[in-house]
Structure 1
Amino acid sequence: MTTRPLTTRRTEPDLADRIHGGWLGRIAGNMLGKPVEQGEVWTRERIDRYLRRAAALPLTDYLPEPADAEESAVLRPEWRACVRGRIHGSCRDDDVDYAILGLHLLETHGFGFTTEQVGDLWLLRMPYLQTFTAERAAYRNLANGMKPPLTATYENPYQEWIGALIRADVYGWTCPGEPSRAAGLARRDAVLSHTGNGVYGAMFAAALVSAAFTAATVRDALETALGVIPASSRLARTVRRVATLHETRLPWEETLATVSQETAGLGWIHTVPNAAVLTAGLLYGDGDFTRTIALTVRGGLDTDSNGATAGSVAGVVTGAAAIPEQWTEPLEDTVRSAVFGFDGVRISALAERTLRLARSAP
């Protein structure tokens, strides 16, 4: 399958539209995947059965309401505010909270921020009970007086999980076309809570979003992002495996089934298998916003996180104006957030603040 060429972006209005698209895409993708965010329950097969039962395949809008009480019982409890026809602004979610927190970090400390300042901002702005897995372990370690990098390693079994990857988009949005710089910022953030493939996932995501502003194709953006992490890492090898299977014209379902077998045992929140789902969604989505986020969420595992990152990349590729309105209108330009001082903020305002940082970057 060939990938469609992306338009090279250079002018300021175009940059503004693409940064706005990144925010909208992240939020829409997160909302799409949120009801089925439980990878051991919501497998690819079960998600498609749910959609088939509702006559919602191909998936071109937010998830339909569950057909009965049995189905609703296994959805995330937030589903009532995340399914089509019920959405009035975005739900609160850590996948969006960390993008907001990263924006605030750069506004407060600039691009020379330290890992210690990331931790300080968490303690100041983020409620402990709205953190999870590696972030909660690091938060606890910070509260107990530990400093990075010990915050990432002490009593933290989640060091290679997906948490650092979901914090990385803002570094790509503020460093458009500078993937190495974006990756460096993401690494400085990630080492507060992660090691190994957990850190590489953040670097990869930041570089991928940054590269999407200027790469000729989605595949080119992926190749650029692979260039910022060790080629021998399991993350890099898995992403390349997905790209190779895509090149052979293997169907999307078979590609994911193959890679799922090869990453079995890592768990549904680990960075590596989720990066495989993300990569497949981007490649088989072929530059189309709706197809990209739909395939990514249908891929299962950490559906809201993967949908958010895929939506961010696809939103940068298309720009806000080209994202179909069924994804953007229900968001009502409003974000719910657990970050102190940001609940109810406008998505357009977040995009404008991000643009100012991108313009002012040294």
Structure 2
Amino acid sequence: MKKLLIPGLIMTVLMSAFTLKQHKKETVTFTKEKLRDKIKGGWAGQTIGVSFGSYTEFRHNGTFIQDYQVIPWGEGYVKKLMLEWPDLYDDIYMDLTFVEVLDRAGFDAPVDSFANAFANASYNLWHANQAARYNILNGIKAPKSGHWLNNPHADDIDYQIEADFAGLMHPGMPNSASTLSDKVGHIMNYGDGWYGGVYVGAMYSLAFLSDDVNYVVNEALKTIPKESDFYKCIADVIKWHKKYPNDWKQTWYEVQKKWSEEAGCPEGIFSPFDIDAKVNSAYVVMGLLYGKGDYTRTLEIATRSGQDSDCNPSTVGGILGTILGYSKIPDYWKKGLNGSEDLNFKYTNMSLNKVYETSYQHALKAIAANNGKVGDAEVIIKVQKPEVVRLEKGFEGIYPVAKEPLNRNIDDVYEFDFEGTGFVLRGNAGKNDQNLDDYELKAKVYVDGQIVETAHLPTAYRTRRHEICWRYQLASGNHHIKIEVLNPKKGYYLRAWDYITHGDKAIDGIMAHK
């Protein structure tokens, strides 16, 4: 056995060295046909991936999907989902919102153009996106709209699932993709949440240069600061893949053991639910590394890892689709697209066929704008060596302490005390009869007797505040919180679900009971 393994290992090392040498070139030349095929593969691939994982999303939290569970696929599956479940495609229509801004306002479009476009769009949003939408509509502009002090979901996956467009329009130019991600990604994310999008954008960009998934995964990680938890998590996955090269489930267990604790997203604290960017990026990298370029195995692993298991196969499907090109995505998977590519995604004026062409035109402009050349039949891309983006860290020194269930309406005033450094009060504004017009409740929030804000709490789902109120970075000690509803109205309510408290040090729950 050893005699067989050693030559194989030598060959792997030699191939990796060849790949690295090959992509130290300053320029790469593509035919326009090949460039178009790769961009088309990226968009088609992510659409295939999100469709495949559709019905599994967040149904397997803190566990993986067993091998015996069949995940359906068949001819025309994407069209079926686009017609029956159009909101599934938030991965795509969020991307397309930003593509449309670039098409309308140009590459120099200001941050506000992107922020206002998605904040005022008619689709529903969740987590970091919804918190950012609320912030923007209430006067907190980007990048403050995505900062963790203003957005408890800043580390969530949101921009990670929306950054595809940035990489696809910057073939071989990961730093230009990162520049665009700096502008757009900070609308809704910060720190590890932002790094998820930077990393995905870089992987897409580098997918144009190599068919070696190891190269794409490792080289893209050079854009992320080594001091960040995001970098450390992905570096661990790469290390565990080398240690357990034939056992993705063992690596899954290692990720669960070391990286699954949540300190940001209030929904994920004290819960198996995990929408954190780095954990879901770990599943993306597992899919790519253990999939070894096989489209089916790659999608299966990214999906079966659980949690956000439609977004993660969407990401790997798009990256591998870019590596392969549309023409080389297996027919088994492309048959799922039959009948769908001329259909507009809901909330947009764009179909897959239209975005294939629009994104291709954006790539041509980006190549020319970054010292490349666009000829009649070929393009010459000035290849960029990945550069690390700036270091930023959200929720630093924030440790969950307790979660107190409430499940009560706040009719006028509600007060509570806690010991720690911060809190999040979860809940929603609503109406007793859905035929009633929407209404905006207002509530004063007091911390230790001082008014810290007047919270605007719409009953409309599209413009809702994701949490009633929160405060971090309070002085360590005892605190008194009071919520005073200013404009109660018959038929409308403010419902408090629970509140989470934070402290300035980690608590070992096992040791606490010894």
The corresponding residue for 1:73 is none
The corresponding residue for 1:326 is 332
The corresponding residue for 1:256 is 252
Query: Which protein shows a greater Rg?
Result: 2
The corresponding residue for 2:426 is none
1:1-362 aligned at under 5 Å gives the runs 10-41=30-61, 43-44=63-64, 47-48=65-66, 52=68, 56=70, 63-64=71-72, 83-84=73-74, 87=77, 89=79, 90-91=81-82, 92=86, 93-124=89-120, 126-127=121-122, 129-153=123-147, 155-215=150-210, 217-250=212-245, 251-266=247-262, 267=268, 268-331=274-337, 332=339, 333-335=341-343, 337-342=345-350, 345=351, 347-361=352-366, 362=369
Give the CA deviation at 1:328. 1.8
The corresponding residue for 1:68 is none
Partner SS, residue 30 of structure 2: coil
- Give CA-to-partner distance per residue, 1:129-168, whole Å, 9 cap, x none: 5211111111111111221122123642100000011110
Q: How many residues align?
A: 327
Partner SS, residue 185 of structure 1: helix
Give the CA deviation at 1:85. 5.9
Change (3 A) 1:355 1:38: same
For the residues of structure 2 that align with 1:41 and 1:231, how far apart are their CA atoms? 28
Contact between 1:289 and 1:318, CA under 8 Å: does it hold in 2?
no
Contact between 2:49 and 2:315, CA under 8 Å: does it hold in 1?
yes
Contact between 1:282 and 1:310, CA under 8 Å: does it hold in 2?
yes
Contact between 1:36 and 1:42, CA under 8 Å: does it hold in 2?
no
Partner SS, residue 24 of structure 1: helix
Change (3 A) 1:238 1:135: same
For the residues of structure 1 that align with 2:257 and 2:62, how far apart are their CA atoms? 17
Partner SS, residue 10 of structure 1: strand
Worse overlay, 212-221 or 6-15 = 6-15
Specify which structure has the higher proportion of helix: 1
Change (3 A) 1:39 1:238: farther
Partner SS, residue 223 of structure 2: coil
- Give CA-to-partner distance per residue, 1:51-76, whole Å, 9 cap, x none: 515xx4xxxxxx23xxxxxxxxxxxx
Contact between 1:9 and 1:214, CA under 8 Å: does it hold in 2?
no
Partner SS, residue 111 of structure 1: coil
For the residues of structure 1 that align with 2:209 and 2:78, how far apart are their CA atoms? 33
Q: What TM-score results when the alignment is normalised by the length of structure 1?
A: 0.84
Identity of aligned residues (%): 27
Contact between 2:163 and 2:198, CA under 8 Å: does it hold in 1?
yes
- Give CA-to-partner distance per residue, 1:26-80, whole Å, 9 cap, x none: 0000011110101555831xx22xx515xx4xxxxxx23xxxxxxxxxxxxxxxx
For 1:264, give the aligned amino acid. Answer: S
Change (3 A) 1:133 1:309: same
Give the CA deviation at 1:324. 1.4
Contact between 1:100 and 1:339, CA under 8 Å: does it hold in 2?
no
- Give CA-to-partner distance per residue, 1:209-235, whole Å, 9 cap, x none: 000100352111112211111111111
- Give CA-to-partner distance per residue, 1:268-304, whole Å, 9 cap, x none: 2100111111111000111122211111111111111
Q: Which has the higher contact order (CA 8 A, sep 6+)?
A: 1
Change (3 A) 1:166 1:290: same
For the residues of structure 1 that align with 2:310 and 2:344, how far apart are their CA atoms? 15
For the residues of structure 1 that align with 2:39 and 2:175, how far apart are their CA atoms? 18
For the residues of structure 2 that align with 1:164 and 1:324, how far apart are their CA atoms? 28
